[in-house]
Amino acid sequence: MGPKVIEDSRRQFLIQSMTGVSAAWLAASWPEIAAAAETSWGQYTGAWTRFAFFTQAQGATVDAMAAQIFPTTDTPGAKEAQAIIFIDTALVTFAKDQQAVVTAGLDDLSRRVTAQGGRNFESLTTAQQITLLTAIQTTPFFRAIRDLTVMGMFAAPQHGGNFNKVGWKLIGFDDSLNFHTPFGSYDV
Amino acid sequence: MQKYDPSTEVDFVVIGSGAAGGVMARQLSQAGFSVVVLEQGGWGAFGHEQDYNKDELSNRYPADVDKLISDPNLHRNTFRRNAGETATRGGHNYGCVVGGGTVTYGASSWRHLPWEFNEASVFGTMAGTGIADWPISYAELEPYYTMAEWELGISGERIDTPFMAPMSKPYPLPPQPIKSSGALAKLAAGKLGLTVVPNVAAIITEPYKGRGACINCGMCSGYGCQTKSRSSSAVALLPDAVATGKCEIRANAYVREISTDRNGKVTGAVYIDKAANNREVFQKAKVVVLSANGTETPRLLLMSKSARFPNGLANSSGVVGKYLMSGNGGGASALFDQPLNEYKGCVTGAAVLDFVPNDVKGRGFYGGGRMTARGFTSPIAYGLSGVHGAPTWGVAYKKALIEQANRKMVLANFISQMPIETNCVDLDPEVKDAWGLPAMRITSTSHPNDFKAMEFFRDKSVEILKAAGAKEVWADNISDSRGGAHSRGTCRMGNDPKTSVVNKFHRAHDVPNLFVVDGSSFVTGGRNHPTMTISALAFRAAEHLAAAAKTGNVKI
């Protein structure tokens, strides 16, 4: 089985997992899902070619938006978490109802970029990107991408983002689900 | 599991399988009666609890089969502040699965205090409220609190203090550990002279009745428990009912009417079988026990209109649905230097008890509340809206998010809401739910006294958190209840059929073979979480009902 096949079957897993398959099934399938994620998504370099919802151009724009919403600093951000994969998957599963808002919002953003003489959002400077996003930050489109980006940081890795648990590591969240006292620094 | 044909007249139909319904089903079937439980929710992971999902995203967007809580998009409801407004879309929801709200609740299991059963006599009433004495005393209910604690499995510490109800027997299980939030509350309590104790919870801390101790997973409130350590109706009560061979549980059975005959007696219930293309089924029964929760119970009575009961079943008083009391809050959050790691262990932590009793002269308002120390918001919820005093995206957002992570605690407070006649559940005249039934409409505005209480608790929370050494404290905005958890009071019990719906044994004044047992029976709300009192009332009601059925006082 070549990498491409693994990616596609991984995609299928994800989509199925969020469209009406029971939690029991999900739990039983996690080892396979995790294995698929290790082999295919570990190689993601920012040029994802098989989006489920986005066109290639849209995917690149949203990836750049996510990188401003949750930036890479001295610690990982949306890029390293591969939030774009989460967002893309979300828009064909639990966030399907936001497809129209996102498509219209991307068209509007694209017009704004063109109006200021830019080629596309992702090729603007960081300062230009932030100015543009600030101008639209109260729109339903921006709020949708903002929330999906944050979810892509902190949802469990099997949903596509939070790659290698980078989001959880940032906030010190241990997903062992089985703890002994003392829990924190002030415990009695 | 025993199966009954719907045309077979069973002794009891119990509507609802939660804190009250589970007790009624278990006690009545163990007494030898035939029982059918009709639960509008699905099965959840009943009998295979290890499959409960701890994935936050899937929990947030569950597939229909995995839903544990009602979905306001389907169980549509509307809300308005007063009768002059047109109600708009509401977000009220409740546990909706075999086991009801106890499958996902935070499991706080406090008793009411003795004087909370006769507040009108002890403290007097107040203009604009329906404060009244209960028809039963604490002493009458005490043995059933004890029974509920031992049958269910409650952990806690019996402490001799006027802030806790006196107990004839200690809790069966030791309390949960004091987390960092509780330790910080204790630190402040030492300076301010306050009483801080571990939470009393329906969570077992040692093996009990074949179930294992809590493993402190932390994904607790809002999630099913994989280890069966939360003493829900689904693991602590319903399996015993099924084991009698006398009790059938039917999930996905959404009751739309309690049926009556021309003599005004109930004959059974008509339900929509959600799992069979919404076909209608009539289950015949000698007696109906209604335990559908403080909002669904009055709604079903109001939907069960007939020529004989034109205002809804058991509603000659006009009181069905009125005196709704939901939860009110008001507290504060604070940031500390070191990690608290509140995501480990049960969400609800230690309790500050000093402001439970009334102190009208001292505090300037009637009522009180219990303060709880806690801290955890799960990772997605934290990222979306858990960061204080920062933008919602960008470098500054990320910086604050990382700095505040695991270093915050909250004082969340549970405050008694006054019973007010105009705060109510009724049927929306326009909106229907996804099954074509009239949507629930909630009308609610808290009493001015309740706002004073919320402000007091918010300010007190700030004071305690500062005394605990917080680096920064954020006071909550005060906001009025919009329904939701802890709804009660809507079929109040009393001795007078003109002013109450059920008598002191939960029998409907108007209908001899209808019993209403759940949070709707409350007369006043109490400062503490309602579930333990619901459980105790149900154990008492079941004992009475079984005895009455055996002696012919209730015809079986």
Cβ distance of A178 and B217 shorter than 8 Å: yes
Kindly indicate the confidence band of residue B161, based on its pLDDT and cuts at 50, 70 and 90.
very high
In chain A, whose CA is at the least distance from the CA of B404?
A171
Residues 376-435 of B with CB under 8 A from A: 379-380, 382-384, 392-395, 397-399, 401-402, 405-406
- Looking at chain B, the whole-number percentage of residues with pLDDT higher than 70 is 100
Please determine, for residue A42, whether its predicted confidence score (pLDDT) is greater than 90: no
pLDDT digits (tens, 9 = 90+) for B91-109: 999 999 999 999 999 999 9
Cis preceding linkage at A182, omega within 30: yes
Whether B345 sits inside 8 A of A130 (CB atoms) is no
pLDDT at A50 over 90: no
| Shortest CA distance from B52: residue in chain A | A23
Are B177 and A183 a contacting pair at CB < 8 A? yes
Residue B144 has pLDDT above 70, yes or no: yes
- pLDDT for position B415: 87
- For residue range B330-386, what is the model confidence (pLDDT) as tens digits? 899 999 999 999 999 999 999 999 999 988 889 989 989 999 999 988 999 999 999
Q: Do B340 and A186 touch (CB under 8 A)?
A: yes
B178–A contact, CB cutoff 8 A: yes
In tens, the pLDDT along B471-495 reads 999 999 999 988 888 999 999 999 9
State the number of CA atoms in the 13 A half-sphere of B460 facing the CB: 29
Q: Which of A9-13, B217-221, B506-510, B532-536 has the lowest mean pLDDT?
A: A9-13
User: What is the C-alpha separation between B184 and B339, in angstroms, rounded?
Assistant: 12
Q: 3-state DSSP call for residue B464?
A: helix
SS3 A169: helix
Contact A23 B66 (CB under 8 A): yes
The answer for B 67-96 residues in CB contact with A (under 8 A) is: none
- Spans of all domains in chain B: 1-76+93-119+132-155+201-310+487-551, 177-199+329-415+447-480
Which pLDDT value is given to residue B117?
A: 98
Question: What pLDDT score does B416 carry?
Answer: 78
DSSP of B476-520, one letter per residue? Answer: PPP----S-TT-B-TT-B-S-TTT-SB-TTSBBSS-TTEEE-SGG
pLDDT tens digit sequence for B11-58: 999 999 999 999 999 999 999 999 999 999 999 999 999 999 999 999
Give me the mean pLDDT over the B161-172 stretch: 96
pLDDT score of B59? 95
Q: Per residue in B325-340, pLDDT tens? A: 998 888 999 999 999 9
**Lowest mean pLDDT, pick from A10-14, A74-78, B131-135:** A10-14
Q: What span, in angstroms and rounded, lies between the C-alpha atoms of B247 and B238?
A: 9
Number of CB pairs, chain A paired with chain B, less than 8 A apart: 159
Residue A130 to residue B394, Cβ atoms within 8 A? yes
Q: Distances from the Cα of A172 to the Cαs of A97, A165, B406, in angstroms?
A: 32, 10, 7
Contact A183 B217 (CB under 8 A): no
- Please state whether beta strands B10-15 and B35-38 pair in parallel, antiparallel, or not at all (unpaired): parallel
Q: Which of chain A's residues have a Cβ under 8 Å away from the Cβ of B393?
A: 68-70, 133, 137, 146, 149
On the CB side of B344, CA atoms within 13 Å amount to 23
pLDDT at B88 > cutoff 80: yes
CA-based torsion, A119, A120, A121, A126: positive or negative? negative
Please, which pLDDT band fits residue A187 given cuts at 50, 70 and 90? very high
User: Which residues of A fall within a CB distance of 8 Å from B58?
Assistant: 17-18, 23, 26
Given a cut of 70, whether residue A17 has pLDDT beyond it is no
Q: Would an 8 Å CB–CB cutoff place B342 in contact with chain A?
A: yes
pLDDT: which is higher, A25 or B296: B296
pLDDT tier at B75, thresholds 50, 70, 90? very high
**Residues A20, B394: C-beta atoms closer than 8 Å:** no
Tell me the pLDDT of chain B averaged across its residues. 96
Query: Which of B196, B473, B479 has its CA nearest to residue B355?
Result: B196
How far from A161 is each of A90, A102, B224, CA to CA, in Å? Answer: 10, 19, 24
Q: Which residues 6+ apart lie within 8 Å of B172 measured at CB?
A: B149, B150, B153, B154, B155, B208
Residue A24: its pLDDT value, please? 44
CA distance B391 to B473: 18
| Reported confidence tier of residue B175, pLDDT bands at 50, 70, 90 | very high
Q: What is the pLDDT of residues A156-186, one digit of tens each?
A: 999 999 999 999 999 999 999 999 999 999 9
| Complex confidence, ipTM | 0.93
What percent of chain B stands above pLDDT 90? Answer: 93
Name the closest residue on chain B to residue A180, using Cα atoms. B216
Is residue A11 scored above 70 in pLDDT? Answer: no
Average pLDDT over residues B127-140: 96
Residue A43: per-residue pLDDT: 44
Closest-approach residue (CA) in chain A for B395: A71
Contact A22 B66 (CB under 8 A): yes
Question: Which residues in chain A are contacts of B196 at CB distance < 8 A?
Answer: none
- Model pLDDT, residue B327: 82
Q: Does B336 touch chain A (CB under 8 A)?
A: yes
Per-residue pLDDT, averaged over B256-285, amounts to 97
Distance from the Cα of A166 to chain B's closest Cα (Å) equals 12
| pLDDT higher than threshold 60 for residue A39 | no
B189 touches A: beta carbon within 8 Å: no
Name which of A35-49, B33-47, B54-68 the model is least confident about: A35-49
Q: Does position A62 have pLDDT exceeding 50, yes or no?
A: yes
User: pLDDT at position A38, please?
Assistant: 41
The Cα A50–Cα B549 span in angstroms is 67
For domain B1-76+93-119+132-155+201-310+487-551, the question of CATH label 3.40.50.720 is answered with no
Q: Which residue of B has its CA nearest to A130?
A: B394
Which pLDDT belongs to residue A3? 39
Q: Is the per-residue pLDDT at A34 higher than 80? A: no
Is A179 close to B217, i.e. CB distance below 8 A? yes
pLDDT at B398 over 90: yes
Q: What does residue B56 show for φ and ψ, rounded to 5 degrees?
A: -65, -40
Residue B238: per-residue pLDDT: 98
* Residue A64 φ/ψ region, left for φ over 0, alpha for ψ in the -120 to 50 degree band, beta for the rest: alpha
